[in-house]
Amino acid sequence: PVPASAPAPQRPWNLLLQSLVIDGGQVNYRDALPLRPVQWQASGVMLKVKDFAPLSGSAQAAPLQLALRMVGSRRSQAGSLAYDGSLRVAPLLVQGTVRASDLPLHAFEPYIADLLNVRVLRADGGFSGRVRYEDTPAGARLSLLGDAQLNDLRVRAAEQGASANPVGVNLAGSEDLLRWKVLALRGLDLAL
């Protein structure tokens, strides 16, 4: 035990990235843990970070730029994501401008599949506007201001056993429960 009068121990080391630049990078991601594996690829990755000190806990946020093209499966066309803003790790603060279009959100559906009673076969998302997320002592704060889209949505009933469906009709199969080409939310102003 440390006596109460002893000063708090100092960190033996710290990390500071004065300048980090990645241009033309590629990411291949595969998570086989969910029931259905999650897989996506990103190409043309551009990342620029300055004065990033993730372990310092200082109030200073580092400038961050990120851009990439993302494919959620071999059948999907590439979506794009661009972020220009700042990042602080502890406490977490992300604020900046986001431009995303045709991101294959359905690639991440296996992570929340146990929470849904439907199967999302296709969903391409997009957002253009300002984003701010901050961890505070009073709780998380989120604000979004911009335009959002959910395109090419295809949803089917999840496979269910006979006990979960008292009528005995199997809704899972080839028929879509929900389908649309474009759902656009213009002038979205959200604060939580």
What's the 3-state SS for the chain?
CCCCCCCCCCCCCCCCEEEEEEEEEEEEEEECCCCCCEEEEEEEEEEEEEEECCCCCCCCCEEEEEEEEEECCCCCCCEEEEEEEEEECCCCEEEEEEEEEEEEHHHHHHHHHHHCCEEEEEEEEEEEEEEEEEEECCEEEEEEEEEEEEEEEEEEECCCCCCCCCCCCCCCCCCCCEEEEEEEEEEEEEEC
What pLDDT, on the 0 to 100 scale, is given for residue 164? Answer: 45
For residues 177 and 144, the answer to whether their CB atoms sit within 8 Å is: no
Count of Cβ atoms closer than 10 Å to residue 70 Cβ: 22
pLDDT (0 to 100) of residue 73: 61
Residue 137, pLDDT score: 92
The pLDDT score that the predictor gives to residue 130 is 98
Profile the chain (192 residues) by mean pLDDT over runs of 10 residues: 67 84 95 91 96 80 96 73 95 96 93 90 95 95 97 87 44 75 96 96
Q: Give residue 168's pLDDT.
A: 43
| Claim: this prediction has a pTM higher than 0.85 | no
Which of these, 178, 188, 65, lies nearest to 126 by C-alpha position?
188
Cα-based distances in Å from 54 to 25, 69, 89: 22, 26, 5
In 3D space, the residue among 69, 181, 170 whose CA is nearest the CA of residue 124 turns out to be 181
Q: Tokens representing 44?
A: 């043309």
Cβ neighbours of 48 (radius 10 Å): 15
Residues 6+ apart with CB under 8 A from 8: none
